[in-house]
Chains A and B, each alone.
Chain A
Amino acid sequence: MNPADQSGAQERIAQARAGNAEAWGELYGQYAPAIFRFCRRALPTREDAEDATMDIFIKVRQKLGQYDSSRPFSAWLYTVAANHCWDVLRRRKLRQDLETGEVENMPLEHPDPGALEQLLERHSNQEVRRALDKLPARSRMALVLRYYADMSYDDVAATLGVRRTFVGVVLLRARHQLRDILGEHRAANAAAGGAR
C-alpha cells in the first residue's frame, strides 16, 4: 500500500473509531475480500470461512479502539484473523500437532532439488490449494500465515504458540508434507494414466 493509500486508510480508521458508519463500510469493503480469502485458506470449509470473516469484522469493530495506529492496519487485521481462525480450529480439536517436541525430533529427508523443481512445474495453483486442505491444521496455518498474510516469524510464533526458533522447522515440515501430498497425487494420476 502506498503512503497516500495508507494515510487514507488511517483517516477512515479514525472516522470509524468515532462512529462513522460510512467509513467503517469503506474499511470493510477494502479489507473483507482479503480476510475472507485468508479464512478460506486457513479453515476447512467455505461456510467456516464466511462465519469467521463476519466474526472477525464484528470483533475488529468492537476492538478498533485498541488498534495501535503506528502499526500497519492490515498486519493488525491479519493478527486478529489468525488468532480467530486458530481459535476456531482449537475448539474443533483440529490442532493435533500442537506439541513442539515432535517438531524438534522430526527427521527431514534432504530433497532432490531437481525432483522438487519438477514437482512445482507439474502442479497448478488449484492442486496446491487442494493439497493444502489435506495438511494438518498447524502446518496449513503456518504456510497461510507466512505466505498469504506475509507475517513475520515473531507473529507466526505468537499465533501458533510455538517458540520463534521453531517457526522455520514448522514451515519446513509443512512444505515437506505438502510435497508428499502432491507427490502422492502425481503418483495416483500416473497410475490412473497407466491403467488406461
Chain B
Amino acid sequence: MIHFDEMACLLYLEGQLDPERARELVAHTGECAACRTLLRALERESHFLASALTEENESMPARLLSARGWAVPSWVWTLAFGIFAAGAYWLWTDGVSPWLDQLSNAGFGGTDLMSMVLFTGAFWEGWGNMVDTIQIAALIVVVLGAAGLIRRRLRRSAAITGVTITVVISALLFALAWPQPAAAADVRRGRAVSVPASETIHNDLIVAGPSVRIDGTVEGDLIVFTRDLTVTGHVTGDVIAFARQVLIDGIVDGNVRTFSQNATLQGSVGKNVSAFASSIDLTPKANLGGGMIAVASDADMDGKIHRDLLGIIGRSDLDGLIGGQVWIRGGTLTVASTSEIRGPCRFEGREQPVVAAGAKFASPLQVEITQEVRRSRFSTVRLVIHEIFSYGAAVLVGILLVTVFPGFFYATLREVRIIGLPIGVGALAFVIGVFVLILGILLLFVGVGAGIAGVLGMAPILYVGQVFVGAWLGIKIMGETSNNTNATIGRIAVGLLIVHVAGLVPFLGVLAWLVVHLWGTGAVLLGFYRMSRVESAAVPA
C-alpha cells in the first residue's frame, strides 16, 4: 500500500490539495490506520497551534490602551509643574536676584561681561534679531510645505510628509549651490601647513590643520579650517576661513568670509569682507575694494573700505575711509578725526556716538538711541507682546503638523516621550547643526541660493521641536488622547504656553529653551527616522 506523506496530509487539512488527490486521500485514510492517525495528529496540532497563538494571555500595554481612552487629567503632573514654577520663582526672588543686586552694588552689575553677553550686549540683540528672522523663515517654509502637501492630498489621499520633501529639496539646493570648483580642489592636511612664497598652486586649496600659513600664491579659492591662519601671499579667488585667529596681510582678489575669534585685515581685498568675530581689526594698511559686513563685539576700522559698511557691532571705532554708506547697530560708536565717510551714515545704539571734530561726513550722521532692553525685565510690554506672537506662531505650526502631517506628528510625539534619547540626539545634532548653520550663513554671502537653502533646511527642525515638547507637556498635564486632532491641538496649546512662559523666567528660561530645543530637535530627527521606516513598509491597497 502506498501511503500519503505528511505534506499531502497537511495540504488536505488546509484545503489546499487538488480535489482528485483529496478524494484519493480520503479513500486511503478510510483503509489505512497509520495515515488516519497522522491526519488526526496534524489536525490536532493545527488546533493546538491556533489555540496557543490566539490565547489572550497578555494585557494591552498602558500606552496602547490610553491611546484609545479620553482625556484623564493627571493632577500629579499639574501639581509637579506648579511646584516647579513656585520653586523657580522662589529661587529667583530669594536666591539669584539678591545675589545679582549685591554684585550690582559692588560695581559688577549691568556692564559685567556675563550681563553684556547674555542680556544687554548688542551682540546678543543682533543674534536675537537673527533668531527672529530665522523663526519667520522657518514659519514660511512650514506653511509653504503644508500648502504644497494640502494640494497634493486634494489630488491623491496618500500622505507623504512634506517636511521630508522640503528638507530634501533644501539639501539638494544646498548641494547644487555649493561652489563647484571645490570638487577639484587641492587638499592639504597637517600640523603646520605652509605654502612658501616660491610656490604657486594652480587650483583651489582646502586646508585643515592647527596652523596654516600662505606665503605663496593660490590661483583659486582658499578654504581653511584651522586655529591660526596667516595669509601674506596672494589668493586670486575667495578666502573662506573657520579659524580662531585670522590675519590677512597679503592680497586677496576675491572675497574674504571668516568666522573666527579675532580677524585682522591689513592687506588688500579685491571684493567684499564678511566677518563674524569677537574682535575685528582693520588696520590702516587694509584696503577693501568692496564692502564689509561685520558681526562682532568689538571692531576697529582704521583701513579703507571702498563701498558700504554694515555691522552689528558692540563697540565700533571708525578711523579710516568708507566709500559707501555706513549702517551700524550696536552699543557704542566712536568716529575719529581721521575718518571719512562718503555715503549716508546711520547708527542705532544705546549711547550717543562720540564724533571727533575733524571727522568728515558726506551727510549728517543719523542717530537712533535705542532703549536698553534687558531680557531680565521680562515684564516689559514689548517682550510680552513679542512672546504672545511667538507663542501664536508656534501653536499655528503645531496645528499644521497635526492636521497636515499626522503620521510624522504622532511618530515624533512618541520619540519625545523617551526623553533621554532625543535630548542626546538633539545635542549631537546641535553640535553638527550649528556648524551647518554657520556654513549656511556664510554661504548666504557666497551664493544666495545655497545660503537660504542651508539655513532654511535647518531652521524648521529647530523651530518645530518646541511643538513636540509642548505636546508632551500638554499630554502629561491633560492626559492622553486617542489621536483626536482637536484634543491634541488643545494639549499642544497648553504645553506650548508653559514652554513660552517658562522661557520668560530670567536665566532659567534660557536653560529651559536650550533643553526644549535639544529635546525637540532630537525627537524630530528620530521622528524622521521612524517615518522613513514606516513609509518603506509595503501597504496593500
Contact = CB atoms under 8 A, between A and B. Distances in A.
A54 B537 contact: no
Nearest to B39: A113
Interface residues of B, number: 56
Given A59-B407, A62-B406, A91-B533, A76 B540 contact: yes
- Central interface residue in B6, B7, B159, B406, by most chain A CB within 10 Å: B6
B38 A54 contact: no
B18 to A, nearest CB: 12
Nearest to A33: B60
Contacts of B41: 111, 113-114, 116-117, 120
Contacts of B61: 36, 46, 50
Given A21-B483, A21-B485, A59-B534, A66 B157 contact: yes
B168 to A, nearest CB: 19
B53 A41 contact: yes
Interface in A22-51: 22, 24-25, 28-29, 32-33, 36-37, 40-41, 46, 50-51
What secondary structure prevails in chain A residues at the interface with B? helix
A34 to B, nearest CB: 9
Contact of A29 (B68, B410, B541): B68
Interface in A119-159: 120, 125-126, 128-129, 132, 143-144, 146-148, 153
Interface string B264-300: 0000000000000000000000000000000000000
A79 B53 contact: no
A145 B311 CA distance: 67
A24 B483 contact: yes
A8 interface: no
A51 B406 CA distance: 17
Contacts of B536: 87
A180 interface: no
A175 interface: yes
Interface string B508-541: 0000000000000000000000100110111111
Given A40-B58, A111-B6, A50 B64 contact: yes
Contacts of A58: 406-407, 410-411, 534
A168 interface: yes
Interface string B6-37: 11001100101000000000000000001001
B53 A143 contact: yes
Contacts of B34: 113
A108 B486 CA distance: 58
B102 interface: no
A68 B52 contact: no
A169 interface: yes
B157 A28 contact: no
B468 to A, nearest CB: 15
Nearest to B44: A120
B60 A32 contact: yes
A40 B64 CA distance: 13
A28 B53 contact: no
Contacts of A126: 52, 57
A61 interface: yes
A90 to B, nearest CB: 9
A181 interface: no
- Central interface residue in A84, A108, A113, A172, by most chain B CB within 10 Å: A113
Contacts of A63: 158, 539
B55 interface: yes
Contact of A147 (B50, B63, B68): B50
Given A21-B484, A59-B534, A54 B49 contact: no
Nearest to A29: B68
Contacts of B487: 21
Contacts of B10: 168, 171-172, 175
Interface string A66-79: 10100000001001
Contacts of B58: 37, 40, 46
- Central interface residue in B63, B414, B533, B539, by most chain A CB within 10 Å: B539
B45 interface: yes
A148 B48 CA distance: 11
A25 B540 contact: no
A53 to B, nearest CB: 6
B68 A36 contact: no
Given A32-B64, A168-B14, A87 B538 contact: yes
A169 B45 contact: no
B188 interface: no
Contacts of A175: 10, 45, 49
Contact of B537 (A83, A116, A132): A83
Contacts of B541: 66, 68
Contacts of B380: none
B379 interface: no
A50 B451 CA distance: 42
A80 interface: yes
A50 B58 CA distance: 12
Interface in A1-21: 19, 21
Nearest to B482: A25
Contact of A125 (B11, B57, B539): B57
A35 to B, nearest CB: 9
A171 B53 CA distance: 15
Contact of B55 (A62, A113, A114, A125): A125
6 contacts: A57-B483, A62-B406, A68-B541, A116-B42, A129-B52, A147-B49
Given A21-B482, A113-B37, 6 more contacts: A54-B67, A55-B530, A65-B158, A87-B537, A113-B38, A129-B52
The list of the 6 closest CB pairs from A to B, nearest first, reads A87-B537, A65-B157, A128-B52, A125-B52, A113-B37, A21-B484
